[in-house]
A and B are shown apart, each in its own frame.
Chain A
Amino acid sequence: MAESLPRVSARVLLPKASFQRVFDNLQAAGFTLLGPTVRDSAIVLEEITRVEELPLGWCDEQAPGKYRLEKKRGSRYFDYGVSSHSWKQFLFPPRRKLFSIEKHASQWTIKPNENGPGRRAFIGVRPCDLNAISIQDHVFVTGEFRDPHYSHAREQIFVLAVNCSRPSSNCFCTSMKTGPRATSGFDLALTELPEHFVVEIGSEAGSEIMRDTGWQLATAFDLGRAAQVTEQAEERIDREVRTDDLPQVLYDNLEHPRWDEVATRCLSCTNCTLVCPTCFCSTVEDSCDLRATVSERTRVWDSCFTLDFSRVHGGNNRPSIRARYRQWLTHKLASWIDQFGFSGCVGCGRCITWCPVGIDLTEELQAIRTKATP
C-alpha cells in the first residue's frame, strides 16, 4: 500500500471481512453507531455496534400500503430499498424539551435544554435520505433563524452512505434527482459488491476512519462493477413523476375534483408526514408541576393532517380532509420550491408504503395532471 490513508474523493476497495473494522474505528473515535437492523419484521434504524446486526440477506417488498421483509440467501448487508424509519428522528427528534422555567415571585430562571446527543455515525444512509437531511438543514440551520437543537445534533454526525442496489417498487428517486447514487454530503459512500465494498471517500473524517482496514485503491474493473450496481438500480425504478412543470400544475388545479376523491380515501392519520424524511412541522406542549412553579416546554412532531394544526380563534382554516391533503401535497411539491428553492420530496416512497389505505402520491399527481381543469 502506497499510503496509509486514502485521499478525499478517492475510491477504494474494502473487503467485507474488514467492515467491522470500520465500525470499530468509528466507535474508537467516539461515535455511537446508528444503522439498519431488523425488528418487528421491519428494517428500522437503531443503535448498533456490530456488522452482524445489519440486515444481512434481508430484502424488502414495498407497495402502496404494503411492507414485507424476506430473508434471502446472500451476503449483502444492504439489499433492501429504504428502511421504515428515516434519519429525521435523530436530528429532529419526535419529542425534544426546549427549556424549563422556574418561577419565584417575579423572578424567572430560564434553563435552556443544552443536552446534545453527542457524536453519532449514521450507517447506511440512502442517497434519498442524504438529500432529505440537506433539505432539513435549510429549514433549521441556514435560514434567518437557526435551531440550536437540530444544528447541534447535525454538526456531530458522521455519514456513511450506501448507494442503492435494490430499490423497492415505491422508490422514485430518479424523478426527484436524489439517487440511486450519492454524489455529496457524506463522509464515506459505499457500493456493495458480493465480497467487497467500493468506498468513495467524501471527507477527511471519512479517510481517517479507513485506517488499518486493509483498503486498496479500486481498479477500473471494481469501479465498473460498482457503476453497474447503481445503473441496474436505476433501471429497476419504474415509478415516475414529471417534475419540470409541477408547481404550476398544482397551483393551477387547486380546485381539481381529484382532491375530493382522494379525501374519501385519506384517513388523515398523519402516517405520511411522520415517515416523511423532510416533513418538519411541529407543535409545542407545556407541562408544569401542581404549583405551577416549574414548567417545561417541549417541541413535538406535528402534522398538517391534524385538525388542531390550523386552528385559530373562531374556527379552523382547513376543516376538511380535502383541504389538508391538498396542503400537504402542494406544500411538498410546489410551495416548498418557492420557500427553499427545491422540492420537499426526495422520492423515498415511504408515504406510499406506510399509508394504511395505500394512497400513492405519484398516482395522485398523475390524476391531477391528466384531467386538469381549465
Chain B
Amino acid sequence: MSVAFTPMETRLPLDPMLPQPAVIQAIQPEAAGISTFTLKFSDPAEAAAYRFQPGQFNMLYLPGFGEVAISLSSDPNEPGRLGHTIRYAGSVTRAIGRLKVGDVIGVRGPYGSAWPMEAGLGKNLVLVAGGIGLAPLRPVILAVLRERQAFQRVVLLYGARTPADLLYTAEFASWQEHGIEVHPTVDIGNESWRGLVGVVPQLFYRIRVDAKQTLVLTCGPEIMMRFVIYEALARRIAKDSIFVSMERNMKCAVGFCGHCQFGPSFICKQGPVLKFSALEPFFGREDF
C-alpha cells in the first residue's frame, strides 16, 4: 500500500498556520459578554482577495494567548469587512474582549464547509439557532435579504436563555420586513418579555412547511440540535435536507492537529456544516 512520494521544491512553502494581521474596525456589543468584532486585513491585497461563504469560520489569533475558531457572522457580499460575533468564554476570547478599535488580531481562513445556499434556491429555509448559534446563520439571512425572491419561505426559529441573551434583536424588524419569519423564544422570561418561553425545538409547532421543499439549517448546543433533528424528521424532512453546524476543539483548522475529529469527519474540513445523514451514526452518542 506504500504510495510513492513526489518530491517538491526544497524551499519551505507558505505555512497554512501563519496568521495575517487584521485591524479591529468596530466592536458592537450584542448581549452580555457577547460582541461583534469587525475586522479588516492590514494588507490591502489580502483584504481584496478574501472571500467567504455563509457557515465558514476563521481562526483568530492573539499572540501570547492563542487561537480560536470563530464563525463569520457578517455579510458574505462584503468580504472586506469580516464580522465575528464572539462570546467571552475562554482565555483567548476573554483577551479579545479587552481589545479596542484599532487593535490588531491575527486572522487566517476562511475554513470549513458552508451552508447549502445553492441547494436552497427555490426552497423553504428553516433556520434553527440556539444562543450564539445564530452567529454562523446570520450570513445566510444577510445573503437571503439580497436575493429574497430566490427562496420560498424563510423562517428563523431562535432561542436564548433570557431576553437579554438574544442576539441581533435590533435587526429582527428589518428581517421581518423582508419577509423572513422570526420566531424568538427564551428559556427564562422577564417582566418586559411578551414573547414565547420554552425550548427551541418546540418552535416547530408554530410553523407548517412542505417537507419535500424544505431545508433545515441548525446551529446551537448539541442537545438542542438533537431535538431539532427529531422534530424535523417527525415532519418527514429528509435526513440529507437537515444541515448541522458542529463544534469541536480545534487547534489548526487544516486537518493536521486531529482535535476536531468526529467519527470519520474532520469538523474543520468536512464540517463545520454537515448533512445529518453523514453524522447520523455518531450524532448524540454519549462521549463521542
Contacts and interface: CB of A to CB of B under 8 A. Distances in A.
Contacts of A318: 287-288
A108 B67 CA distance: 16
Given A144-B254, A283-B257, A112 B15 contact: yes
A25 interface: no
A342 B3 CA distance: 11
A188 B23 CA distance: 53
A112 B17 CA distance: 9
A242 interface: no
Contact of B1 (A148, A155, A299, A342): A342
A304 B102 CA distance: 38
B257 A317 contact: no
A320 B252 CA distance: 24
Contact of B15 (A98, A284, A339): A98
B226 interface: no
A309 B12 contact: no
B96 to A, nearest CB: 13
B255 A145 contact: yes
Given A112-B15, A137-B3, A284 B288 contact: no
A183 B4 CA distance: 11
Contacts of A134: 1-3, 5
B247 interface: yes
Interface string B1-38: 11111011010111111110101000000000000000
A294 to B, nearest CB: 9
Contact of A297 (B7, B17, B258, B269): B17
Contacts of A283: 251, 257, 259
Contact of B255 (A108, A144, A151, A287): A144
Contacts, number: 165
Contacts of A281: 257-259
Contact of A98 (B10, B17, B282): B17
Nearest to A186: B2
Given A155-B8, A318-B287, A323-B288, A148 B251 contact: no
A62 interface: no
Nearest to B260: A310
Interface string B254-288: 11111101011010010000000000011001111
Nearest to B254: A145
A130 interface: yes
Contact of B103 (A106, A137, A280, A314): A106
B67 A331 contact: no
A114 interface: yes
Contacts of B39: none
A295 B61 CA distance: 12
B66 interface: yes
A312 B264 contact: no
27 contacts: A99-B18, A101-B106, A106-B21, A106-B104, A110-B18, A112-B12, A137-B5, A139-B256, A145-B256, A147-B15, A148-B14, A154-B5, A283-B259, A284-B17, A284-B67, A286-B66, A299-B17, A309-B249, A310-B248, A310-B259, A313-B87, A317-B287, A318-B288, A320-B287, A322-B287, A323-B286, A330-B263
Interface of A: 98-99, 101, 103, 106, 108, 110, 112, 114, 116, 130-131, 134, 137-141, 143-149, 151-152, 154-156, 177-178, 182-185, 251, 254, 280-284, 286-288, 292, 295, 297, 299, 302, 304, 309-314, 317-320, 322-323, 327, 330-331, 335, 338-339, 342
Interface of B: 1-5, 7-8, 10, 12-19, 21, 23, 42, 63-67, 87, 89-90, 102-104, 106, 247-249, 251-252, 254-259, 261, 263-264, 266, 269, 281-282, 285-288
Closest 8 CB pairs of A and B: A281-B258, A338-B264, A323-B287, A288-B64, A295-B63, A313-B89, A145-B254, A148-B12
